[in-house]
Amino acid sequence: MHDHYAPSPAVVVGVDGSRSAVGAALWAVDEAVSRDIPLRLVYAIDPDSHPDADPGDAARALATAEIAVRQAFMAVESTDKPVKIEIEILQKTPTRALVESSRSAALLCVGSLGLKHSGQGRIGSTAAALATASHCPVAIVHGFDSHRAHQGWVVAELDGFSTLDAVLLCALEEARLRELPLRVLTTWHSRYTDIHAPNAVADGNRLARARLDRRLDEWRRRYPDLDVEAVAVHGSALNYFAREAGSIKLLVIGHERADGIRELVGPPGYATLHQAGCSVLVCQSRNVL
């Protein structure tokens, strides 16, 4: 147990013994290396799972935890990347342990499906809770495959909130780190009658894209090596996600959007983004430089 000190900054990964959690740990390696900080594997032994304080139950729970962190540790070590690995086993509920860890973390990473949800085709309850409760950015990692890590796009969804620059900065850094093109998505809405005029949707898309392009010019100058393209969609962003799901490797959204995380990676989004192996990064406005 190591909860008696103020931990140093780290990229924190929630580990629970699932394949999804190991994928989150592997995804997080580059995040830790790029920041030159440790990768901290955190396993939470839920006290409610053995309320009678039976010594045998406690010993089994600890053994299970040690197996899970060892599995993730070995997977990370096998990448042969220069990352320092830390391990923390806590006697707390998973959500509480990770929310508390997020106070000093640079980034919190979890698998989209834990053991309890691995067969149910939806985002794990811990991941959904962390998307809104975390004190740092949260990556909900799904279907990470190191062999296909440089295929597809990073997509930043701009929803009109004040976190525009925070979301863009997160997305630009991820696109550079992952060596992927960036697509910056904005949506626009109109009165019902407007869209029935000839070419109304195409014209609206073109105007919205032109406005976004002007806002992106400064960022393109800052990141001249990146492929950055503006995308405008009428109505719901889910339509775009459904159409392009096979190409989206990482979706970057603002913290205010996190309440809708189930819409993005749970039904109906599950049929598109989730099955396509898309991860989601929830940014914080305090990340703006």
All domains of the chain, ordered by start, with CATH? 11-141 (3.40.50.12370), 146-287 (3.40.50.12370)
pLDDT(233) > 70: yes
pLDDT(51) > 80: no
Report residue 114's pLDDT band, with 50, 70 and 90 as the boundaries: low
Element at 69 (helix H, strand E): helix 55-77
Q: What is the mean pLDDT of residues 222-239?
A: 90
Most confident among 49-58, 68-77, 134-143 (mean pLDDT): 68-77
> What are the helix and strand counts (H, E) for the chain?
8, 10
Confidence at residue 80, expressed as pLDDT on a 0 to 100 scale: 96
DSSP string across 150-205: TSSEEEEEE-SSTTHHHHHHHHHHHHHHHT--EEEEEEE---TTGGGSTTHHHHHH
Q: What is the mean pLDDT of residues 114-121?
A: 48
Q: Which of 136, 197, 184, 180 shows the shortest CA–CA distance to 157?
A: 184
**pLDDT digits over 65-104, tens only?**
999 999 999 999 999 999 999 999 999 999 999 999 999 9
Confidence at residue 160, expressed as pLDDT on a 0 to 100 scale: 57
Chain mean pLDDT for the chain: 83
Torsion of CA 130, 132, 138, 142, to 10 degrees: 70
Confidence at residue 57, expressed as pLDDT on a 0 to 100 scale: 81
Mapped onto helix, strand or coil, the DSSP state of residue 259 is helix
pLDDT(111) > 80: yes
Q: What is the mean pLDDT of residues 169-192?
A: 90
Q: What is the mean pLDDT of residues 4-25?
A: 87
Task: Kindly report which listed range (138-147, 177-186, 189-198, 262-271) carries the lowest average pLDDT score.
Answer: 262-271
| Those residues with Cβ within 8 angstroms of residue 267's Cβ, 6 or more apart along the chain or in another chain | 121, 122
Helix, strand, coil shares of the chain as percentages rounded to 5? 45, 20, 35
pTM of the model: 0.86
Confidence at residue 131, expressed as pLDDT on a 0 to 100 scale: 83
Q: Which of 142, 107, 137 shows the shortest CA–CA distance to 19?
A: 142
Hey, what are 35's tokens?
Answer: 């920041």
pLDDT(140) > 50: yes
Task: Kindly report which listed range (53-62, 70-79, 128-137) carries the lowest average pLDDT score.
Answer: 53-62
Most confident among 46-50, 214-218, 226-230, 284-288 (mean pLDDT): 226-230
Degrees (nearest 5) of the Cα angle 263, 266, 269? 60
Report residue 124's pLDDT band, with 50, 70 and 90 as the boundaries: low
Q: What is the mean pLDDT of residues 225-229?
A: 95
Distance CA 153, CA 288 (A): 22
Confidence at residue 58, expressed as pLDDT on a 0 to 100 scale: 84
Confidence at residue 239, expressed as pLDDT on a 0 to 100 scale: 80
Report residue 221's pLDDT band, with 50, 70 and 90 as the boundaries: very high
pLDDT(120) > 60: no
Confidence at residue 272, expressed as pLDDT on a 0 to 100 scale: 60
Here the contacts of 221-229 (C-beta below 8 Å, separation 24 or greater) are: 222/172, 223/172, 223/175, 223/176, 225/176, 226/172, 226/175, 226/176, 226/181, 226/182, 227/181, 227/182, 228/172, 228/175, 228/181, 228/182, 228/184, 229/181, 229/182, 229/183, 229/184
Hey, what are 240's tokens?
Answer: 């775009």
